Structure 1
C-alpha cells in the first residue's frame, strides 16, 4: 500500500510517522519550500487525546524526548475581567501539557524527512479504479492507493473533493505573540482569558521558556493592513485598545514580541460524504477557532486513527483490495462526528467569550 499525504503540518507529519512505523509506504508533499517559512503559532495545548495519539505514532524514545520539553500547567481555564478581577474558573480532568508547536514539528520531522517533497503545490487528483494520482504545479505526478488531505484550512484536496464544504470568517482577528514567562506569574493555567469591553480579549498560557500572549478583537474594530505593521506599531495599537486595563496586562503588551495577526475562520459542518480512496484529516476537514483548544489534539487524533485504520486493512488489501473502503469509512465516521462536534463547541465558546459570529446552519 502507498499513501499520498498532502501537507506536512502536525497532522500530516504524525500520520506519516505512524504509517512508516507500521511499514506502509508514504509520500508527503508540502507546498511550502521548507518547514520554517510561515509562522503558525507558538504554544499548543495537548490533552490526553493528543498525548495518546503521539504515543501511538511516535517512536518511544523520540516521544519521551519531546514530552520532556513540555510544561504542565494547572488543569483549569481561568477568566478575569480587564481589572484582573476573577470571573470564571473551569477545572479540567486528565493530563494537560503546554508545548511549543515548532518543537513538536522538529520532533516529528527526523523520522519522516526522507518522505517529504517540499515546494510542490497540489493542482488536482484523479481516482481511477483502485488508484489515486495526484498532480502538482511543477508538472510531476504521484500515484498511490490512498490520498490524504492534511493540507490545512485552505485545503486543495478538500476544494476538489468536497467543493460544497464551506470555510467562513468568525468576525474575529487575533494577534499572536510571546512574552517573558515571568510576566505570566499567577496565570499558570491551561489557558487564562482576560476579557475587556467590546469583546477584546488577552489570552495567556505559559510554556517552559515563554508565555504565549494573544490579543483578539472584532475585525471591524481593527485597522486594515495589520500584516504590514511593524512590531512597534502592533504593540502601540494594542496598548491603545487596552487603555485603562490592569497595569500587569499593559506590562505584558509592552513586552510583547514576535507578534503576527491571523484572521480566525471556521469550517461549517456538513453531512457525511461517500467514502472513497480520498480522505481528510485535521483542519482540512474540521477547522475551528481556538476557543475550544482542540484543533491540534483533533489533528493528532485523526492521524493516529487513520494510521490504525490503514494498518488493520493492510494485509487484506494486499491480498484482495476489499476492506480498504470500509476501514476508511469507519475512520471518517468518527472523524466527522467528533470533529464537527468540536467545531460547534468552539463556535459556542467563541460566541460567549470572544464575540464570534454564530456558526451558519449550512
Structure 2
C-alpha cells in the first residue's frame, strides 16, 4: 500500500514517521519550497495524548531524547486580573510539556526528510478504481491507495472532499512573540492569562529557553492592517491597550520581540461522512482556537491513530472508517471545548450551529 500525505506540518510528519516505522510506503508533498522558508511558530503545549502519540510514532531513542529535554511546567491554568490578583485556577493533573515548535518539527523531520517532496502545491485529486491520484500545480501527479489531507486550516483536500465543511473567524486576533524566561519565574504554569476590559488578554507560557507572550483582543478593537505594522508599532499598540495594567505585565510587554499577528479561526463541526480512500488529519479536519491548548495534541493523536489503522493489514477502508469515527469524535469535542473556553476567557464569538450535508451517512455504515 502507498500512502500520499499532503502537508508536512506536525501531523503529516508524525504520520510519515509512524507509517515508515511499520514499513508502509509513504510520500509527503509540501507546498513550501523548503522546511526553512517561513517561521514555524513558538511554544506548543503537549499533554498526555500528544506525548503518548509522539512516543508511538517516533523511533524510541529519538522520542526519549526529545521528551527528556522538554520543559515541564506546573500542571495548572492561572487567570489574573490586571492587578495580578488570581481570579481563576485550574489543576489539570497528568503530564504536561512546553516545547518549541521548530525543535519538534526538526525531530519529526529527522527520519523522513527523504520522503518529502517540497514545492508541490496540491490543486486537486481524483479517487476512482481503488486508487487516488493527486494533481500538483507544477503539472506532476502522484498516485496511491490512500490520500491524507494534512494540509492545515486552509486545506485544499478538505475544500474538494467536504465542500460543506466551513472554517470561520472567531472574532479575535492574536499577536504572539517571545520574552525572556527570567521575567516569568513565578508564572511557570501550562498557561497564565491576564484578562482585562474589552476582552483584552495577555498570555504567558514558559519553555526551556524562553517564554511566549501573546496579546489577544476583538478584531473590531484592532487596526485592520496588523500584518503591515512594524514590530515597534505592534508593541506600541499593545502598550497603549494595556495602559494601567500591573507593572509586571508592562515589563513583559516591553521585552516583547519577534511579534507575529494571527487571525484566530475555528472549524464548525460536521456530521460523519462516508469513508473513502481520502481522509483528513489535524487542522485540515478540526481547526480550533488555541483556548484549549489542544491543537498540536490532536494532530499528533490523529497521526498515531491513523498509523495504527493503516498498519493493521487488509483493505484500507475498514481501518480508515474506524480512524475517522475516533478522529471526528475527539477532534470536534476539542473544537467545542476550545470555543467554549475562548468565549468565556477571550471573548470569542460563540461557535456557529453544526453544518450538515445530505451526503453524510449514519455511523453504522
TM-score (norm 1): 0.97
| Residue 219, structure 1, aligned to residue 225, structure 2 | no
Which of the residues 323, 345, 355 maps onto 2:337?
A: 345
Aligned-pair distance for 1:179? Answer: 0.1
- Residue pairs, 1:238-277, within 5 angstroms: 238-277=238-277
In the alignment, structure 2 segments of 5+ residues that lack a partner are 355-365
Whole-Å Cα distance in 2 between the matches of residues 34 and 229 of structure 1?
A: 27
In the alignment, structure 1 segments of 5+ residues that lack a partner are 317-322
Whole-Å Cα distance in 2 between the matches of residues 300 and 275 of structure 1?
A: 21
Whole-Å Cα distance in 1 between the matches of residues 33 and 225 of structure 2?
A: 25
Partner of 1:187: 187
Deviates more, 1:264-273 or 1:63-72: 63-72
What SS does the aligned partner of 2:93 have? coil
Aligned-pair distance for 1:64? Answer: 1.4
CA deviations over 1:87-111 (Å, ceiling 9, x no partner): 0000011100000000000011010
Whole-Å Cα distance in 1 between the matches of residues 257 and 124 of structure 2?
A: 39
Aligned-pair distance for 1:169? Answer: 0.2
- Residue pairs, 1:39-118, within 5 angstroms: 39-118=39-118
Whole-Å Cα distance in 1 between the matches of residues 253 and 33 of structure 2?
A: 33
CA deviations over 1:131-151 (Å, ceiling 9, x no partner): 000000000000000000000
Whole-Å Cα distance in 1 between the matches of residues 162 and 345 of structure 2?
A: 31
- Residue pairs, 1:126-205, within 5 angstroms: 126-205=126-205
What SS does the aligned partner of 1:168 have? strand
> How well do the aligned residues superpose, as a CA RMSD in angstroms?
0.7
Partner of 2:323: 331
| Residue 5, structure 1, aligned to residue 5, structure 2 | yes
Whole-Å Cα distance in 2 between the matches of residues 340 and 140 of structure 1?
A: 34
- How many residues matched? 354
Partner of 2:359: none
| Residue 231, structure 1, aligned to residue 231, structure 2 | yes
Whole-Å Cα distance in 1 between the matches of residues 242 and 119 of structure 2?
A: 41
Aligned-pair distance for 1:41? Answer: 2.2
Whole-Å Cα distance in 1 between the matches of residues 197 and 117 of structure 2?
A: 47
Whole-Å Cα distance in 2 between the matches of residues 58 and 133 of structure 1?
A: 28
Aligned-pair distance for 1:342? Answer: 0.4
Partner of 2:304: 304
Whole-Å Cα distance in 2 between the matches of residues 3 and 350 of structure 1?
A: 36
CA deviations over 1:179-228 (Å, ceiling 9, x no partner): 00011121000000100010000000000100000000000100121111
Partner of 1:355: 347
Whole-Å Cα distance in 2 between the matches of residues 65 and 259 of structure 1?
A: 30
Deviates more, 1:168-177 or 1:34-43: 34-43
